Structure 1
Amino acid sequence: MRKITLIIIHCSATPEGRNLDFEACRHEHVHHRRFKDIGYHFYITRDGDIHRGRPIEQIGAHCKNHNAHSIGICYEGGLDADGVPMDTRTMEQKGSLLALLRELRVLFPGTLIVGHHDLNPLKARPCFDAAKEYGSL
Structure 2
Amino acid sequence: MIQTSTFQHIARILLGLSLVFAGTGHLTFLRAEFPAQVPDWVPLDTDLVVVLSGIVEIALGLALVFVRKKRIWVGLIVATFFVLIFPGNIAQYVNKRDAFGLNTDNARLIRLFFQPVLVMWALWSTGAWQAIRTRGLKVLA
- Specify the TM-score bucket, using the shorter chain as the normaliser: under 0.3
TM-score, normalised relative to structure 1: 0.28
More helix by share: 2
TM-score, normalised relative to structure 2: 0.27
